[in-house]
């Protein structure tokens, strides 16, 4: 628990580091440009498709007509835009998380290790291409969980619980692997992730709840939907900073756990008796009976009896 809270406050302090702030701009440029391009190309057509789908369902269409009579004719366009945004945010979050894991996390791991753990040996237990495939697989799994649980988001209360749990699971998987890939060997990484799976999941869920903060911007006013592609760029930067904080938190925690594990291993080696390697041991064959010391004397004594 001490390591958990200590890593948290260290991560908060590191977020103010100029290098960390500069690194957070890299995913913003890529994800922001991709979002603006997608908004320019598909925004109107996506809203039209959602409106057509809603009007195709007679029950939903009747409800929309009743609500439009109370809230105004623009309600249909607004609700369609909100649905498009709600479907876009999981993709944006997953894309931003992958970018942070690929670009920012390695630099953060190097920064934290250089400042806090300069003597920690790098054993390179996870290659970059393994990290890419693992991150993509976990991201696809998280998006599938989002699609499967999407109907339950309409249940009061579950919409506040399910997304943070899903994004928390994804964050714990991606950040846990990336934080240990450079310094830990594969057995060390697997042992730490298994032994600390519950604290890491709690950290991920807390970061998942933090990811819900940018989404609250859309609840301020329906007028903001007009500027949705541009507001989405600001939302991406908020997600980037949240994931950067997550990377710092996981890195401080994971490297501290790795340093503790290696210190315990070194202490065990120090108290264990030294054993010669098998190659240094000489093979002693059994001595035949007639060559043993005292064999003739014992034989004469037996004859005298």
Which two tokens mark 229?
A: 């592609």
Q: What is the pLDDT of residue 66?
A: 57
Q: What is the pLDDT of residue 44?
A: 81
What sign does the dihedral 83-86-88-91 (CA atoms) show?
A: negative
Q: What is the pLDDT of residue 276?
A: 46
| Contact between 73 and 216 (Cβ < 8 Å) | no
Q: Among 112, 142, 140, which residue's Cα sits nearest to residue 208? A: 142
How far is Cα 211 from Cα 223, in angstroms, rounded to an integer? Answer: 23
How far is Cα 49 from Cα 110, in angstroms, rounded to an integer? Answer: 46
Q: What is the pLDDT of residue 203?
A: 93
Kindly list the distances between the CA atom of residue 1 and the CA atoms of 136, 208, 210, 238, in Å, as whole numbers in the listed order. 31, 20, 20, 27
Residue 111: HSE in the Cβ half-sphere, 13 Å Cα cutoff = 20
Q: Indicate the Cα dihedral angle 229, 165, 187, 139, nearest 10°.
A: -30
Burial class (CB in 10 A: 0-12, 13-18, 19+), 204: buried
The verdict on pTM exceeding 0.85 is no
| Contact between 35 and 234 (Cβ < 8 Å) | no
DSSP 212-266: HHHHGGGGS-GGGGGGHHHHHHHHHHHHHHHHHHHHHHHHHHHHHHHHHHHHHHH
The length of the chain is: 305
DSSP 28-88: HHHHHHHHHHHHHHHHHHHHHHHHHHHHHSHHHHHHHHHHHHHH-TTHHHHHHHHHHHHHH
Q: Per-residue confidence of the chain (305 residues) as pLDDT tens digits? A: 788 889 999 999 999 888 888 888 888 788 778 878 887 788 788 878 877 776 666 655 566 565 555 555 555 556 777 778 777 877 887 778 778 877 888 899 999 999 999 989 998 887 767 777 887 888 888 888 888 887 777 676 777 788 888 888 888 888 888 889 889 998 999 899 999 989 999 999 998 888 777 777 766 655 666 677 677 778 888 888 888 899 999 999 999 999 999 998 888 888 865 554 554 444 444 445 555 545 555 555 555 55
The conformation of residue 155, written as its DSSP 8-state character, comes to: S
| Contact between 117 and 259 (Cβ < 8 Å) | yes
CA angle, 234 then 235 then 238, to 5°: 90
| Contact between 11 and 253 (Cβ < 8 Å) | no
| Contact between 236 and 35 (Cβ < 8 Å) | yes
How far is Cα 248 from Cα 176, in angstroms, rounded to an integer? Answer: 11
Q: What are 38-79's pLDDT values in tens digits? A: 877 887 888 788 777 766 666 555 665 655 555 555 555 567
Which two tokens mark 3?
A: 């390591």
């Amino acid at each position: 628990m001490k390591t958990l809270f200590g890593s948290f406050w260290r991560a908060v302090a590191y977020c103010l580091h100029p290098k960390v702030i500069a690194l957070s701009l890299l995913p913003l440029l890529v994800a922001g440009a991709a979002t603006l391009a997608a908004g320019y190309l598909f925004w109107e057509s996506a809203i039209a498709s959602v409106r057509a789908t809603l009007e195709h369902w007679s029950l939903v269409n009747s409800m929309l007509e009743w609500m439009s009579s109370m809230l105004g004719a623009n309600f249909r366009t607004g609700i369609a835009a909100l649905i498009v945004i709600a479907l876009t945010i999981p993709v944006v979050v997953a894309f931003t998380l992958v970018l942070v894991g690929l670009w920012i996390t390695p630099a953060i791991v190097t920064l934290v290790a250089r400042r806090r753990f300069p003597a920690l040996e790098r054993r390179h237990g996870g290659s970059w291409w393994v990290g890419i495939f693992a991150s993509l697989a976990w991201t696809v799994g998280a998006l599938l969980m989002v699609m499967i649980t999407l109907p339950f988001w309409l249940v009061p209360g579950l919409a506040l619980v399910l997304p943070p749990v899903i994004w928390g699971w994804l964050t714990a998987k991606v950040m846990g692997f990336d934080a240990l890939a450079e310094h830990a060997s594969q057995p060390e990484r697997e042992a730490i992730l298994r032994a600390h799976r519950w604290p890491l999941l709690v950290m991920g869920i807390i970061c998942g709840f933090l990811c819900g903060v940018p989404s609250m911007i859309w609840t301020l006013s329906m007028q903001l939907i007009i500027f949705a592609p541009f507001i989405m760029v600001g939302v991406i930067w908020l997600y980037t900073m949240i994931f950067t904080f997550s990377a710092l938190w996981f890195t401080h925690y994971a490297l501290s756990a790795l340093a503790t594990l290696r210190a315990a291993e070194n202490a065990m080696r120090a108290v264990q008796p030294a054993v010669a390697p098998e190659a240094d041991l000489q093979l002693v064959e059994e001595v035949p009976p007639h060559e043993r010391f005292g064999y003739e004397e014992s034989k004469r004594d037996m004859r005298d009896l």
